[in-house]
A and B are shown apart, each in its own frame.
Chain A
Amino acid sequence: MSSSGAAGAGSTDSTAARRNTKRPKYSKFTQQELPACKPILTPRAVISAFLLVSVVFVPVGVASLLASRKVVEIVYRYDSKCIPKNVTNKVAYIQSSADKACSITLNVTKHMKSPVYIYYQLDNFYQNHRRYVKSRSDEQLRKRGEENETSTCKPEDMVNGRAIVPCGLIAWSLFNDTYSFSVNKRNLTVNKKGISWKSDRNHKFGKDVFPKNFQNSSIIGGAHLNESIPLREQEDLIVWMRTAALPTFRKLYGKIEEDLKEGELVNVTLNNNYNTYSFNGKKKLVLSTTTWLGGKNDFLGIAYLTVGGLCFFLALAFTIVYFVKPRQLGDPSYLSWNRNPGGH
């Protein structure tokens, strides 16, 4: 079906001329010939990698653990202590308008350097619940003109047809226990300025947005807000609105800007208002110093030591195996292709 070159030769010339026309372009990429580095897992490389990891991880682990141990932390659970003994229905008590003042004493076991951070810790409180975490309106918080932007705030969006500022479940459930501290009858000043993120204050909460219709609905959630102070200065609210990812979390309450000496007794007068009793939550008061790594948390240190140790163990094990049972890499004796008995 094809015509072939005829009596004369001359077909070779034409192929030579055509040779380059249809030929694809050459490049190292198109020919898959890019220079490549081909590492292999030699015992030396692998064992040194493990050794290196353990050599780096163990000191970092020790440092982290030391940093964590250096932190002085006083944790005091008060939710059960601050209920009078004769109260059987804790939920009814906490929801009543009775005076819920309570006094506790914290023992400073170790010298605490200023600043001492005051946290409240809630356990079993799901700030990350889907209904909860979305129930806010960033537009409304930021700008005065957007105060009717409450569609995302359900079910705490409107009261009597008027928009709630700040709306949503998060703001509505604002924590409202208060603490005051004294040492030897001398009151300690609690600095509540600058406890929230600066970026939140400057960009997320407007300076001309004032609370409106807040906690006016039939069910009262948490704290009330002073309607004459703009949201930007309501730092407790700003801190609270940074929702926690875990059901156990601490939020900054304030700072004590003086040292607490070892052996001192800190008297705390607190108003136990916040309802954690209906869901068996715990409330704790935490005084803590801080280091470069943050608060007291042994996890990183222990984890580093574990991983470092594990890598060291692996390096050791591989070394032993390497010497006890040396294996030549690329040994052709492992290359037998006996897969078809009927084949060659």
Chain B
Amino acid sequence: MADEVILLDFWASMFGIRVRIALAEKGVKYEYKEQDLFNKSPLLLRMNPVHKKIPVLIHNGKSVCESSIIVQYIDEVWKDKAPLLPYDPYQRAQARFWVDFIDKKMYDTSRKTWATKGEEQEAAKKEFIEVLKTLGGELGDKPFFGGDNFGYVDLCLIPYYCWFYSYETFGKFSVEAECPKFIAWVTRCLQRETVAKALPDEKKVFEFVSVLREKIRVE
């Protein structure tokens, strides 16, 4: 019996991109349903009544919410191909720690690089670079956070890359200048077809961020 898999998502969401990459890594066929976040659909509100957010994975009618939880679910259900989390419980705890760190630190800090100005923006830039440097420290000399292979942490972090052009343009800084090793890791991830196909064009994201900035009246 074929699985019915539906993804409620928004094209520019770094959280939705995580799920798209995970499904692609596992070769899972699914129906993508673009959501209007300014006018949420009854389906989204029914499937995620608690947070009312995307992404939501609907697997045979049952919804799974929160991107890192969805990715773990995908890894457990479609376990015969492309393992994302490590086998060893300690390594798994470390991978979960770093995804939790990314979830706690990347979004709010990165948002402030384009959504604020003046001193608040300067402070956000510094903090954002610090976060990338901390992640760079964890990566060390490994090709991926997962070691030799692309894994859970890589998958959860790389979607942010399509927003970097926006952070750098509005924040007036360069990630490559500040964290070259980080960009080297990005390049390796982008060589992966599942990643390259899932990330939207950074210029399109920039146009979207420009519209958002006007909506929240940053200038």
Do these two chains interact?
Answer: no
Taking beta carbons and an 8 Å cutoff, which residues of A are in contact with B?
none
Taking beta carbons and an 8 Å cutoff, which residues of B are in contact with A?
none
